[in-house]
Chains A and B, each alone.
Chain A
Amino acid sequence: MSLPPRAHQLHVLACHACGMVLEDALDSTGHGRCPRCTAVLHRRRPNSIARAWALLIAGLLFYIPANVLPVMFTSRLGSGSDNTILQGVIEFWHGGSYGVALVIFIASVVVPCSKFVILGLLLITVQRRSAWARRERARLYRLVELVGYWSMLDVLVVAIVAALVKFQSLSDIEPRSGILFFGMVVILTMLSAMQFDPRLIWDSEDT
C-alpha cells in the first residue's frame, strides 16, 4: 500500500489557521499570507525545535520549586501548616480518598513528568532525523496535546478552596508561591507542545 503524497511533493502548503490548501509560492513571492484568513503562511512552524526546547527546559526548571515550595497554607483553630502538592496527595491517601489522591497525583506528577519525557524524546529524535517508530511518536504527540491541560487541576483546586475557607481565626486557607511555579509549568509545557511541529517527525522519510 502506497502512502499519500506530502504537501511539498505536490508543491502546495496548508494554512495552519483555516486549513486552506494553496500553491506553495513562499520562495518566489516572499510574502506569505493566506488569501482566505490572512494568517502568515509557513511550511513548518518557524524555529520550532529551539523554541520548544527553551519552553520545555524552562518548564522543567520551574517544576522543582513547584514541588519543593508549599502550594497552600492551611490554618485550623490557631495552628497553621504549609502544604506542598505531594503532601496534599498523601493527606488524601491517609484520609481514605484513594480516588482523589490518584487523580491529583496523575494531574500533578504523572502528566507533567510524561510531558517532559515525551516532548524531550520527540525533540531529540526529530533532531536526529530518526525513522524509528514514527507512527507511535505521532500518537505520543497527540496524547500530550490531549491530556496536557488537565494539570491545571491543582491551580484551580487551590483557587476554589482559598476562595471558600475564609473564617479568620477559626479556619483559613491561602495560596502559596509553589502554585505559581506549578501553573507556570503547565503553561510552559503547553506552549512547548504547541511550538513543536509534528510534521517534522515525517520529514526524515525523504532522506
Chain B
Amino acid sequence: MSGDGLKTFPEWVVCEHCDSVYQRVALANGQVARCERCLALLYRASSLDTERWLALTIAAAIMFMIANLCPVVRISLQGLHNEATLWQSAAALAHGPAAPIAVPAALSIIVVPFLQIALLGWILVFARRKRRAPGFATAMRMLVVLRPWSMVEVCMLGLLVAIIKLSSFMEVAPGPGIWAMAVLMILITIIANRDIHWLWEMVEVEPPQPESQA
C-alpha cells in the first residue's frame, strides 16, 4: 500500500509499555483489552461514533470560548473590585522574576487545550464523511504529543485552591468562566483522552494523499 515496500500488520497491536504483540479482537461496548505481560491498557471499545464525537468537540469549543472570555474569579476588598480571566492569570506570572514560567502556564491551560479541540474538530469534520482531512497525519501526531501537556483539570483545582486561599481575607465569588471551565474539563476528558488510533483505520479507505505523487 505504501511505496516503501514495508510489510504492515494492520490486524496486530503492540503494547506501548512492553512490546508484546497481540492479535486485535473486536470488543463489546465498555470492554477494555489489557496486556497480559505488563497489565497496561492496550485499547478500549469505542463507544463514541464520529458524529457524537464531533458534537462534543463543538460543545468543548464553545465552553473553551466562554471560559477564556469571561472572568473565572471575582474578588472584592473594602469596596474595591477585581476579576481575572485565564489569560490574565498566565500573564500575571510574566511580571517579576518568575516571568519565563508564564509561557508553560499559558500553554498548558489555554494554548494546548485550544489546539486539541481545533485539531480534533478539523479531523472529525472530514472523518464523518469518511475522508482524511488535509494535514491529517500531522494533526494526529500532534494530538499524541499534546495530550500530556493539557492541564485543564489541574487549572480547575488551582482555581478552587485560590478561591479558598483568598476567601480568608476578602470576598471571593466564582465568575461565569469557572462554570464553563468545569464543563470544559469533563468534555475535554471525553473527547481527547480516548484512543484515537482507530481513526487511522477508519479513514484509510481513501488513497493517502494523492498530491504527493508529483
Contact = CB atoms under 8 A, between A and B. Distances in A.
B14 A19 contact: yes
Nearest to A202: B18
B8 interface: yes
Interface stretch (B52-60, B61-69, B94-102, B119-127): B94-102
B166 to A, nearest CB: 6
B17 A198 contact: yes
Given A155-B105, A156-B158, A177 B98 contact: yes
B202 interface: no
Interface in B10-33: 10, 12-14, 16-22
Given A21-B9, A23-B8, A149-B154, A165 B75 contact: yes
Interface stretch (A48-56, A121-129, A179-187): A179-187
Interface string B131-171: 00000010011001000110100110111011011101110
Interface in A9-51: 9-10, 12-14, 16-23, 25, 29, 33, 35-39
Contacts, number: 237
With most chain A CB atoms within 10 A of its CB, the pick from B19, B159, B200 is B19
Interface size class of A (residues with CB under 8 A): 35 or more
B95 A7 contact: no
Contact of B140 (A13, A18, A171, A187): A18
Contact of A7 (B7, B21, B90, B91): B21
A156 B36 contact: no
A135 to B, nearest CB: 6
B200 A20 contact: yes
A152 interface: yes
Contact of B19 (A8, A20, A194): A8
A143 to B, nearest CB: 12
B180 to A, nearest CB: 16
Contacts of A184: 101
A76 B140 CA distance: 49
Contacts of A176: 96-98
Interface string B84-123: 1000111111011111111011001100000000000000
Interface size class of B (residues with CB under 8 A): 35 or more
A183 to B, nearest CB: 4
A21 B162 CA distance: 47
Contacts of B2: 35-36
Contact of A180 (B8, B83, B98): B98
B214 interface: no
A139 B161 CA distance: 30
A95 to B, nearest CB: 6
B158 A160 contact: yes
Contacts of B21: 4-7, 9-10, 12, 21
A8 B18 CA distance: 11
Contact of A17 (B77, B98, B141): B141
A60 interface: no
A159 B154 contact: no
CB-CB nearest 8 A-B residue pairs: A35-B2, A156-B158, A14-B14, A163-B92, A163-B84, A23-B7, A180-B98, A183-B101
Given A6-B18, A142-B17, A149-B154, 18 more contacts: A3-B37, A4-B36, A17-B144, A21-B13, A29-B6, A33-B4, A35-B2, A37-B200, A135-B38, A138-B39, A156-B105, A157-B162, A158-B93, A159-B89, A160-B89, A178-B98, A179-B101, A199-B16
Interface of B: 1-4, 6-10, 12-14, 16-22, 36-40, 72-73, 75, 77-78, 80, 82-84, 88-93, 95-102, 104-105, 108-109, 137, 140-141, 144, 148-149, 151, 154-155, 157-159, 161-162, 164-166, 168-170, 197, 200, 204, 208
6 contacts: A7-B20, A13-B14, A139-B39, A165-B170, A175-B95, A199-B18
